[in-house]
Amino acid sequence: MKYDYLIVGSGLYGAVFAHEAAAKGKKVLVIDKRPNIAGNVYTEKVEGINVHKYGAHIFHTNLKHVWDYVTRFAEFNRFTNSPVANFNGELYSLPFNMYTFNKMWGVVTPEEAQAKIDEQRAEIKGEPQNLEEQAISLVGRDIYEKLIKGYTEKQWGRDCTELPPFIIKRLPVRLTFDNNYFNALYQGIPVGGYTKMVENMLDGIEVRLNVDYLENKEELDKLADKVLYTGAIDAYFGYKLGNLEYRSVRFENELLDKPNFQGNAAVNYTDRETPWTRIIEHKWFEFGKDENGNDLPKTVISREYSSEWKLGDEPYYPVNDEKNSKLYEEYKKLAEGEKNVIFGGRLGEYKYYDMDAVIDSALKKCEEEL
């Protein structure tokens, strides 16, 4: 059987492309090396709780067309991300807002908070050159040291002075009591889990799991006219220009025989000494209830440990610093020479994409391609 497209990877990029291609009457085959679909948004039910097996995913977007798109495949609940920071047992509200400033400095009004920030950010002159300077110039040194430095250095395994400023620009600073982490018009978690949402996208499409493309490339390539590859771009080329750096994540999951461990979906451990970066308590993504609205008696937590990626690990976060961005550009040139292969997604484009951006990018690619 001959397919129009062989889609390598059943994460969001692959699933959207597969859905759109099939809708246009193309014959598509989706393969994935894992035993499950949905890539890193995969969720698995444990004791009635949808566990985000490859890390917490909170859908948020300002793009109406992307929201309209995803809500075709799942109903979304009204979950709003408001992480708590734990710095050596001191708790702070995130992202940085009036609750945070009040706890940090005892300030009560927005003017007082602004004055404190202005006083502290004055130490940075000119355009911030790295994440540390960017952070201090956004919120001042106190917040940088208690809520940013330790977390960031654990997450990226690099000194804040060696990281690009843009990473921290993801974090809003607000002189209001709004502790909604994302500046997004639309936000929520798909009811029933992400796996079900991706299953719906792939409805009626042939999917083969436990198939490693790169190990069987020659044979698999014969099956289709074109390949959409969403794996790591450097792996595709056998790392021949050297490997791009990634951060990997390891999760220690625990089922606890109690209803409430930390009272929130996400608690970030922002000190340097605690070895994990955060703990996710999955049930709070769905308000602690099962699908029938009953309270769940148990809870599942995941401690998240960040590590440098090495061969054989799952890559999670591209390290978009200067060195890696340059190397990526070289790989991109090679990719442009592969006429029948499209590279897409977080790993295929070596880009710290959020879910909505991945979907937007996949939809744009579909318009171009299909």
Q: Least separation, in Å, of the C-beta of 110 and ligand UDP?
A: 22
150 within 8 A of 271, measured Cβ to Cβ: yes
Residue 38 φ/ψ region, left for φ over 0, alpha for ψ in the -120 to 50 degree band, beta for the rest: left
- Largest Cα–Cα distance in the chain? 69
74 within 8 A of 190, measured Cβ to Cβ: yes
Q: Which residue lies nearer to ligand UDP by CB, 159 or 336?
A: 159
Q: Least separation, in Å, of the C-beta of 56 and ligand UDP?
A: 7
Q: Which residue lies nearer to ligand UDP by CB, 31 or 160?
A: 160
Q: Which residue lies nearer to ligand UDP by CB, 170 or 272?
A: 170
Q: Which residue lies nearer to ligand UDP by CB, 117 or 148?
A: 148
Q: Which residue lies nearer to ligand UDP by CB, 3 or 144?
A: 144
Among 350, 353, 342, which Cα is nearest to 324's? 350
Q: Which residue lies nearer to ligand UDP by CB, 299 or 306?
A: 306
147 within 8 A of 270, measured Cβ to Cβ: yes
Among 1, 106, 16, which Cα is nearest to 344's? 16
Total residue count of the chain as it appears in this document: 370
Q: Least separation, in Å, of the C-beta of 58 and ligand UDP?
A: 8
Q: Least separation, in Å, of the C-beta of 257 and ligand UDP?
A: 29
Q: Side chain identity at 37, as an amino acid letter?
A: I
Active site residues per annotation: 170, 174, 247, 278, 304, 352, 354
Identify the H or E element spanning 183: none
Q: Least separation, in Å, of the C-beta of 151 and ligand UDP?
A: 4
167 vs 347: CA distance, rounded Å? 17
145 within 8 A of 85, measured Cβ to Cβ: no
DSSP 146: I
Q: Least separation, in Å, of the C-beta of 179 and ligand UDP?
A: 12
Q: Please tell me the number of Cα atoms within 13 Å of 121 on its side-chain side.
A: 15
* Residues that bind ligand UDP in the complex, under the rule CB under 6 A: 85, 94, 147-148, 151-152, 155, 167-168, 170-171, 268, 270
Indicate the Cα dihedral angle 177, 183, 184, 190, nearest 10°: -80
Helices (H), 141-262: 141-143, 149-156, 194-201, 217-221, 233-236
| CA-based torsion, 183, 320, 42, 56: positive or negative | negative
